[in-house]
Amino acid sequence: MATVQAHTETKWWGGGKSPFNIEYGKLMMWYFLMSDAFTFGAFLISYGTIRFSQNYWPDPNEVFNAFPLAGHANLPLAFVSLMTFILIVSSVTMVLAVHAGHHNDKKGVIKWMIWTIIGGFAFLGCQAWEWTHLITGDHAALINGEIKNIGTTVTMNPWGPASSITGADGHLVNTTGPVAFGGYFFGITGFHGFHVFSGVMINIVMLIMTINGTFERRGHYLMIEKAGLYWHFVDLVWVFVFLCFYLI
Amino acid sequence: MEHSAQEVTVHHEPGGKEVVQKIIKTTVILSVITIIELGMGLAMYAWPMAEGLKLFLKGVIVILSLAKAFYIVGIFMHLGDELKNMIMTIVVPLLLFIWFIAAFLWDGNSWKTLRNTYNKPAVENVAPAAHGAGEKH
């Protein structure tokens, strides 16, 4: 952030005005988000520690290769790409809502907040489908010498290294993989999904307040900015969840 | 004590059109970086490659993700428009992550080494050939 320049005449605080030239609630939102970044960071680093301690870890391209209505087609990372783009687009509509708020454009704020809320629900729907597919999906795995069909849950992982036994489909059957894979995946994407859900709820409250003219009477749309900070943070966290679970 | 908009003496937002253009530009940058990341992720799956090259690609993907984070925080969250002192109160504590990541990944690697050294059966249970090394679905 070294290239960033502040649009102000004085560089240092001389008293008599807000030292950071920022509204109290917005500053506190920033500090909350910083602490939340450490919470997510701790989860992701814990995941990294366990992954580094294992001799084998499943390849995300093999685990996440399904797409709704595509049957058994092998489409690695396609669905999670869609989820990523939904979240980026909903982040853009949120910026536009904040921008409309700066110009006290009530109609613009309403329009862009509605799109942001739709994007949030779309993301949650995608995540629900993905979880359901992973938990209920049957994958052959060799358990105690027997081939069993299991899904990916917090206690089961069919994505282990290949065994020497050939299954019904002519491929070598997997052994079971590290159980921590499902635990971390559902734990961290679940915690992120919870953030998305609460973000959508906050956005709905902001939309209702905008429609009721609360911010118009107040003379500013700073609450939209604060909700926007939270929403962008959710997108920011997804960048790293996407990185850690799906890309590398 | 009332916390109102009055305590904000300088308004950050310049004119309308430039801001929207900046938002569109950032959106394009974020989308392009995401597509490049996906391309690299899929390349690692589609073509067999040396572990060293894979590790290099993963490193590049991590750096690209950090670039995305920079754009989201700096442009979408308007942190770049705040006063420098305020930016530093957010960014400097995050430097703790450098130690946090290095120390714990090192620890994880150490567990693996210790387990492989002193708990032989755990090693033998894991087949050396990775799943998918010799097959395609």
- CATH number reported for the structural domain that contains residue A112 in this entry: 1.20.120.80
Q: What pLDDT does residue B133 have?
A: 45
Which residues from chain B sit within 8 angstroms of residue A248, using beta carbons?
41, 58, 61-62
Tell me the residue range of the domain where A81 lies: 24-136+152-158+179-247
Residues 6+ apart with CB under 8 A from B89: A20, A31
Chain A residue with the nearest C-alpha to that of B74? A1
Give whole-number Cα distances, A183 to A153, A189, A219, in Å.
Answer: 7, 10, 47
Chain-centre distance for alpha carbon A53: 25
Q: In the structure encoding, which two tokens stand for residue A26, read together?
A: 């917005």
What total number of domains does chain B contain? 1
Chain B residue with the nearest C-alpha to that of A91? B76
Tens-level pLDDT at each residue, chain A (248 residues): 455 555 555 566 677 777 888 889 999 999 999 999 999 999 999 999 999 999 999 988 888 988 888 777 888 889 999 999 999 999 999 999 999 999 999 999 999 999 999 999 999 999 999 999 999 988 888 888 888 888 899 988 988 888 888 877 777 888 888 999 999 999 999 999 999 999 999 999 999 999 999 999 999 999 999 999 999 999 999 999 999 999 98
Residue B117 counted as domain residue: yes
Å from B23 to nearest chain A CA?
7
Chain A residue with the nearest C-alpha to that of B33? A239
Give whole-number Cα distances, B91 to A1, A54, A96, A234, B80, in Å.
Answer: 8, 32, 25, 18, 11
Report yes or no for ipTM above 0.90.
no
Residue B137 counted as domain residue: no
Q: What pLDDT does residue A99 have?
A: 94
What total number of domains does chain A contain? 1
Residue A108 counted as domain residue: yes
Give whole-number Cα distances, A185 to A219, B91, B130, in Å.
Answer: 44, 28, 21
Chain A residue with the nearest C-alpha to that of B90? A34
Q: What pLDDT does residue B11 have?
A: 53
Which residues from chain B sit within 8 angstroms of residue A137, using beta carbons?
none
Å from B99 to nearest chain A CA?
11
Q: In the structure encoding, which two tokens stand for residue A133, read together?
A: 């597919």
Inter-chain touch B7–A53, beta carbons under 8 Å: no
Query: Which helix (H) or strand (E) element contains residue A151?
Result: none
**For chain B, where are the E strands, in sequence order?**
none
Which residues from chain B sit within 8 angstroms of residue A17, using beta carbons?
7, 9
Å from B52 to nearest chain A CA?
14
Q: What pLDDT does residue A200 have?
A: 97
Residue A107 counted as domain residue: yes
Which residues from chain B sit within 8 angstroms of residue A22, using beta carbons?
8, 82-83, 86
Q: In the structure encoding, which two tokens stand for residue B9, read together?
A: 């003496």
pLDDT-based confidence at residue B132 (cuts at 50, 70, 90): very low
Chain A residue with the nearest C-alpha to that of B124? A55
Q: What pLDDT does residue A130 have?
A: 94
Residue B101 has pLDDT above 80, yes or no: yes
Inter-chain touch B10–A84, beta carbons under 8 Å: no
Residue B53 has pLDDT above 60, yes or no: yes
Q: In the structure encoding, which two tokens stand for residue B110, read together?
A: 């150490």
Residue B84 has pLDDT above 60, yes or no: yes
Å from B80 to nearest chain A CA?
6
Which residues from chain B sit within 8 angstroms of residue A236, using beta carbons?
69, 72-73, 77
- Would you mind telling me the total number of residues written for chain A in this entry? 248
Q: What pLDDT does residue A8 have?
A: 52
Inter-chain touch A246–B105, beta carbons under 8 Å: no
Residue B2 has pLDDT above 50, yes or no: no
Contact A245, A185 (CB under 8 A): yes
Inter-chain touch B130–A161, beta carbons under 8 Å: yes
pLDDT-based confidence at residue B27 (cuts at 50, 70, 90): very high
Mean pLDDT, all residues of chain B: 82
Nearest CB to A45; choose among B84, B101, B122:
B101
Tell me the residue range of the domain where B88 lies: 5-124
pLDDT-based confidence at residue B134 (cuts at 50, 70, 90): very low
Residue B133 counted as domain residue: no
- Would you mind telling me the total number of residues written for chain B in this entry? 137
Residue B45 counted as domain residue: yes
pLDDT-based confidence at residue B12 (cuts at 50, 70, 90): low
Nearest CB to B7; choose among A18, A53, A102:
A18
Q: What pLDDT does residue A58 have?
A: 92
Residue A14 counted as domain residue: no
Between CA A231 and CA A86 the distance in angstroms is 13
